Amino acid sequence: MKVLKGLMASLFLATPAMAQAPQEALLYDASSVGLEVETVCSPTKARTPIARVIWKGPPTRPAQAAAQQRLEVTVHKRGFQTGAYAVASTTKGPEKFAMARSAQVAPPHTRALQLTVTQVRQAKDPASITAIVEDLEPGLNYSWRVATDVAGRLVTSETIVVQAPVCPADEDRGASNSK
């Protein structure tokens, strides 16, 4: 019985130290990311819908750098739950999105997730990050979220759903019909 009591005491004493990291993750409010997504037609590329994704950076502690956040996107109804989503780092551009490692099979509409982060801007005050994402498929609904690694635990923001616009382009028909 003494061995069992000693074992229980050591487990009890070890629990607060071990629970400290998950508790820190619980203190991080994922809704504080303030995720905003706007889809527009590119001002520089004809017929190209883009997404402007804006969110607040992670907590500013030395152990938690911006490299511990990532942008996630899906076009599937339950894509985040089934692993049918794509991921990109949030610290650099240009960068191609990669399919999540948890995807069991290649989902349909994989082309719709072959997106590119073309620009990333980080403002110092307030600590916000803006990513410009290209190669969206016109008319599809895209679900976006930010995942933050807090003390080894992945915490995700709210999910924002937006539709990629259809971007028409004006053509000079007179130039093509001239002889």
Calculate the alpha carbon distances from 16 to 10, 23, 29, 87, 145 in Å: 11, 9, 21, 33, 31
Mean local confidence (pLDDT), 129-133? 92
Structural domains of the chain, ranges and CATH numbers in brackets: 38-167 (2.60.40)
Q: Is the pTM higher than 0.75?
A: no
pLDDT tens, 57-103?
Answer: 765 554 444 447 889 999 998 899 988 999 998 766 788 999 887 65
pLDDT recorded at residue 128? 86
Between residues 145 and 15, the one the model is more confident about: 145
Between residues 56 and 91, the one the model is more confident about: 56
The answer, yes or no, to whether residue 121 has pLDDT greater than 50, is yes
pLDDT tens, 2-44?
Answer: 433 333 333 333 333 333 344 444 445 555 678 999 999 999 9
The answer, yes or no, to whether residue 141 has pLDDT greater than 80, is yes
Nearest to 114 by CA among 128, 97, 130: 97
Mean local confidence (pLDDT), 92-120? 78
Between residues 153 and 16, the one the model is more confident about: 153
